[in-house]
Each structure stands twice: as C-alpha cells, then as structure tokens.
Structure 1
C-alpha cells in the first residue's frame, strides 16, 4: 500500500495527491466568496483503478476542513463523493 499525502499547490491552484512522493492525482480549484471551488479532478493513468480518487477527495476535504474553510464541489467526482460521504456536510456549500 502506498504512503499518501495531499498538498495545496496554491501557485497552480490545485491540490496534489502524493503517493510515495509522486504526484498521483490532482484537484483543480479556484476561490469564490470565501470558499474553495473544486472544478476538476483527475488521477494519473498509471494510478487509476486503485482507489486513489477516493484518497484524493478524502484528503483534500480533510485539509480544507483543518483550515476552517468551506468547499463547493463543481467537479462531478467530488460532488458524488460528498453525496456518498455525508461526514463532509459541515464544510460543503451549495453552488
């Protein structure tokens, strides 16, 4: 199993999922009205099919929560993820 971490690459407006130090996925965002708007996410082809998208979503949302911020999930994957994982309701804002 890989060692995961997520970092906010603010210069490129994206969260990056690191798997054993390598960028395995990303979630693009922009800021609007004090919330982080997740617009697109993807997992690199060599990491697909192993749950890395879920890791990206969970760890990105955890980072957002830890900073006391709110999130708007325009990205279809993230929108579906928060619908299936109601534990994030406290930070999710409707668009």
Structure 2
C-alpha cells in the first residue's frame, strides 16, 4: 500500500515522501515561501520505477498546494513537463509568470 507524507525539515524546506509498504520509494524536494511552493526535484528509487510513483508524488504536491492556498513554481523537470502537457489540469496551482 502506498502513502505520501509532507515533511518539513526546516522552516521553509521539506519533502513530499512516498512510501510503499513502509519503504521510502520516492520523494520531491520542496520549499514554501510567500505563498509559493517551489518543487526542485522528483526522485523515485530504481526498485520502484515504472509504477506511476512520480505521478503519485505530483498528485500529493498539487493537493498540498490546494489545501494551503499555494501556487507552484515547477523548477523540477518532471513537474514542469507535466504542467506543460496538461495545463488545464494544473492551471489553478501553476505560477506561470514567475521569474527568478
């Protein structure tokens, strides 16, 4: 059984962690500041690849952003590609006009 958890390791930085049968199978590195949730990296352990776990992490990222009223800055290549492929699905949480 898969489960996800949002864990903050500091004031702004954290991870969305994915567990499969209590084994950490993947994570997303995130930060939250000023109403923005920046996602830097998505990683799924090789033993768990091909099971749709990156999408489970993405779903949890989006639901967390919606729950907290945050807009997502998709610096992670995986998240950026998914947002661009399915813009209507992520329109309400995607901060499109963000510039560093």
Range into which the TM-score falls when normalised by the shorter chain = 0.7 to 0.9
In structure 2, what is the equivalent of residue 90 of structure 1?
92
Q: Which of these residues, 6, 23, 28, is aligned with residue 8 of structure 1?
A: 6
In structure 2, stretches of 5+ residues that fail to align are none
Q: In the TM superposition, what are the counterparts of 1:66-81 in structure 2 within 5 Å? A: 66-81=67-82
Corresponding residue for residue 30 of structure 1: 31
State the TM-score, normalizing by the size of structure 2: 0.81
- Once the two structures are superposed, residues 21-53 of structure 1 have per-residue CA deviations (whole angstroms, 9 ceiling, x without a partner) of 322111101234320100111101110111111
The separation in 1 between residues aligned to 2:85 and 2:19, in whole angstroms, is 23
* CA spacing shift, 1:63–1:31, aligned 2, 3 Å: closer
Report the RMSD for the aligned CA atoms in angstroms.
1.6
